[in-house]
Structure 1
Amino acid sequence: MATAIGAVERQARERRIFTGMAALVAVTVIGGFGSFALRGYVDVATVPWWVHVHALSLLAWTLLFLAQALLVAQRRTDLHRQLGWVAAGLACFLIPWGIATSILAVQMGRVPPFFPPGIFLVLGPLDMLAFGALTLAAILLRQRSDWHKRLILCGTIAMMEPAFGRILPMPLLGPWAGACATLMQLLYVGIAMRADAGLRGAVHPAYRWGLAVIAGRLLLVELLGRTAIVTGAAAALAAG
């Protein structure tokens, strides 16, 4: 009996942890983009339509992610599964649109001044590919809920770099701006890992994969974004 009660309590705690992480992600994303606009750093009326579509699709994913965590917390796994396929469809839209948005931003001269154009050109696509890889793995492992929910969390964190870029003082960070945003992503995974260790006595391997993908994405951005091929492509795009 005590063992059964312990298992039930652990499941309840795990649901609270994932709901808390989903809420933290949502507050960070909405707060980051919202505060950026409220501080007057962007004129929403002049932003191109394709950027609005990208932003709204990211917001939709964030809200879906939070809704999914709340459904599991309320034990509405039937609705969770149905909504999961909506989320999968949204992910299929998010990835190519996010990549296209990065390319168009370089082409139209909308690269933030603290990012070298080559770095920015590969940053968005690699963010989307990291998100896509972790999300696809989560979908394939949806029957193993322990892997599924942790990979989805890591995948969502993998595309939070733009949100952290609007919270951190990026112009003051100079060449370390991108790395600092990635460190914030790794910190969020670390928070989940710490909670996992406290709950289970060990960190689930899904988090190690998530950590490796996000850290590896930073390494690839730095390696590829400074190559002659990528910097040349960025210059050609900017030149029209």
Structure 2
Amino acid sequence: MATLPQARLRALSFWQKMAIGLSAFILFAFAQFGLRGFVDYAHAPLVMHLHGMAMVAWLGLLTTQSLLAGRSGPSSGGLALHRRLGWASAVMVPTMVVLASALCLTALKLHMFPPFFTPAYFLALVHVEAAFFALLVCMAVSRRGQSDWHKRLMIGSTIILMEPALGRLLPMPLIVPWGEWVSMVIQLGVVLLIVRRDRREFGHTHPATMAVAMVVMLSHVIVELLAVTPWWIALATRMAA
């Protein structure tokens, strides 16, 4: 006989499991990094704490929204609440982008970024990821009336957020300069889970899933290109001065 937790897990949809699993993975990656003593929270700048709180709030909203979307019965009111809460993203997404940028610039000035990253690479990494995260969320909101597009794009935006989490789990000092590509392969592995779901549901890969895969690959390529572009290197050097 199945236990109550097992029964509840089976009752979750694929998309609910993806939202919960990715959120738990990201939170675990940051939590273990801090518990291992790699972050001095007592002397961390205020923007780091604000950024962390915004990230946790966003993952909480994502998980809540996925659970509410599953309660779409006529008497549950879950979908209506899901739509009302969805407008919180109009405030949260720009706030997260601004905080990510502010944290990056502060870290550059205080030389708090990983020593195996160049200033140009770190500047590109944070801003490119923030931009593509916001892009996918905006695309998802614009497609909120098409649930097949909306949920794939929202999960895709969370796959983008996996990169900084992977940076805290993978042995980055040992795999430089391949760390960027290792992270990309892992993220694309998660996209393949959606591809498998698409093929079961539609018999082919959904266009939204292909868009997510392209964004994941493009984000890593742009980061690598910017990191070796002279004008970007000069910009990062000035910011780190």
Identify whether the pair has TM-score above 0.5, normalized to the shorter chain: yes
Alignment of 1:115-154 (within 5 A): 115-154=117-156
Give 3-state SS (helix, strand or coil) of 1:214's partner. Answer: helix
Corresponding residue number in structure 2 for 1:219: 221
Equivalent residue for 2:181? Answer: 179
In structure 2, what is the equivalent of residue 160 of structure 1? 162
Of 103, 106, 123, which residue of structure 2 is paired with 1:104?
106
Q: Distance in 1 between matches of 2:121 and 2:239?
A: 14
Q: Which among 67, 71, 83 is matched to residue 70 of structure 1?
A: 67
Deviation at 1:32, TM superposition (A): 0.3
Question: What amino acid is the match of 1:201?
Answer: G
Could you say which residue in structure 1 is the equivalent of 2:92?
90
- Structure 1 unmatched runs, 5+: 1-12
Residue segments in structure 2 that go unaligned for 5+ positions in a row: 1-9, 73-77
CA contact (8 A) 2:26 2:165 kept: yes
Separation in structure 1 between the aligned mates of residue 11 and residue 240 of structure 2, nearest angstrom: 48
| Separation of aligned partners in 1, 2:214 and 2:132 | 10
- Say whether residues 1:27 and 2:27 are aligned partners: no
Mapped pair 1:47 → 2:44: yes
Which residue identity is paired with 1:123? L
What is the match of residue 16 of structure 1? 13
Conserved 8 A contact 2:47-2:102? no
Which digits, 9 at most, give the CA deviation of each residue in 1:66-89, with x for residues without a partner?
Answer: 111111122210110011001232
Q: Residues 226 and 232 of structure 2 are in contact (CA less than 8 Å); yes or no, is this contact kept in structure 1? A: yes
* Aligned Cα root-mean-square deviation (Å): 1.6
For 2:54 and 2:191, the matched residues in 1 are separated by 23
- Once residues 104 and 41 of structure 1 are traced to their aligned partners in structure 2, the CA distance between those partners, rounded to angstroms, is 18
What secondary structure is seen at the aligned counterpart in 2 of 1:182?
A: helix
Counterpart-to-counterpart distance in 1, 2:198 and 2:53: 31
Maintained 8 Å contact 1:15/1:72: no
Determine which structure has the larger helix proportion and give its number: 1
Identity across aligned pairs (percent)? Answer: 36
- AA of the residue aligned to 1:83: L
Q: TM-score, normalised by structure 1?
A: 0.89
Q: In the TM superposition, what is the alpha-carbon distance from 1:63 to its structure 2 partner?
A: 1.2
SS at match of 1:160: helix
User: Matched residue pairs, number?
Assistant: 227
| Residue range with higher mean Cα deviation, 110-119 or 193-202 | 193-202
- 1:202 match: 204
- Output the CA distance in 1 between the equivalents of 2:195 and 2:44: 37
